[in-house]
Structure 1
Amino acid sequence: MVTIHSTYLGDLRTESKHGPSGTRIHTDAPIDNQGKGESFSPTDLVATAVGTCMLTIMGIVAARHEWDIAGATAEVKKIMAAAPERRIQRIEVTIKIPGDGLEERARRALQKAAESCPVHATLGTNVEMPIELIWC
């Protein structure tokens, strides 16, 4: 279990502290929702969690098989819906993986790893989430 402590700072901003490490992050409401957009919004952090989770789970699988995917990147685009309620409607993920020499078995395993990350599983079918892997 991990505990995260969050404090409302006023002016639609928060600060959160990761219990185990003490690392702090800040959020700000986006411009289109009355904020200044000067930091990640809470929904930006959800989208960030998707990309970083996929890369992490792919890294675990790659390490297990001694495949080198260092330098892999995730570009995540978050699309919001305004009605009937404000929410994340779609998260588009493009993952670029160095290692065009990886065999098909490795590519399938890494694709499965990306699709089975815990954040993706948690969001389930509530959010459309196309995932594209590009081998470069």
Structure 2
Amino acid sequence: MTELKTRQTGATATLGHRGFPHVVSATGGEIDIVTGPSQPGFNPVDLLYASLAACLAMSARIAATQMHVMDKVTNITAEVKGEKAHEGPSRITRFDVRMTIAGDLDADTRRKIVHAAEEICTVSNTLAGNPEFSIELGD
């Protein structure tokens, strides 16, 4: 039997008196956050959209593989946008997702892949649920 390998998860954001947050993942990945409306890069909401887009794209590939049609797929794109609440609390009220699956597949198979991807994706399942938050004050 093969041993299931797990990936460390989590992130730590550090912010000084000035500047922008610097985020380090549990595995050592790093990203600097931007906040200006025209600054290139990722702000926190962009990262939320990016997480959903990446998860759905990877989940679509998993679904296509499970359906034995991945050899017909040439490209998978998941574009995520959304709408921010007009009144408090600050939050995203709607996610708009457009998935494109290029390749030699009929429309019904593409729809099945997209539906399966949504069921597979940890991020979409989390956002659709009501996860608990546990926030504590550190030393």
**Fold in common (TM above 0.5):** yes
- Give the C-alpha shift of residue 125 in structure 1: 6.4
1:45 aligns with 2:47: yes
Q: What is the root-mean-square deviation of aligned Cα atoms in Å? A: 2.5
**Which of 12, 17, 21 pairs up with 2:24?**
17
Q: With the length of structure 2 as denominator, give the TM-score of the two structures.
A: 0.71
2:15 counterpart residue number = 8
Structure 2 residue 93 is the aligned partner of structure 1 residue 115? no
Percent of paired sites with the same residue: 29
Alpha-carbon distance in structure 1 between the residues aligned to 2:122 and 2:70: 22
SS at match of 1:59: helix
2:96 counterpart residue number: 92
C-alpha deviation, 1:2, in angstroms: 1.4
Gaps of 5+ in 1: 127-136
User: 1:61, 1:113 within 8 Å by CA — same for their partners in 2?
Assistant: yes
| Structure 2 CA distance for aligned equivalents of residues 72 and 28 of structure 1 | 28
CA distance in 1, matches of 2:70, 2:107: 10
Give the Cα separation in 2 of the matches to 1:3 and 1:102.
39
**CA 1:107–1:19: 2 relative to 1, 3 Å:** same
Q: Which amino acid aligns with 1:110?
A: I
Query: Partners of 1:93 and 1:39 in 2: how far apart?
Result: 20
8 Å contact from structure 2 (residues 33, 43) kept in 1: yes
Q: Residue 83 of structure 1: CA displacement?
A: 0.7
Larger radius of gyration: 2
Give the structure 2 partner of residue 83 of structure 1. 87
Whether the aligned pair in 2 keeps the contact of 1:51 and 1:74 (CA below 8 Å) is yes
The change in CA–CA distance for 1:11 and 1:71 in structure 2 (over 3 A counts) is farther
Specify every segment of 5 or more residues in structure 2 that has no aligned partner in the other structure, as ranges: 1-7, 131-139
Query: Aligned pair 1:59/2:64, yes or no?
Result: no
Secondary structure class of the residue paired with 1:28: coil
**Is 1:101 aligned to residue 102 of structure 2?**
no
- Shift in Å, 1:82: 3.3
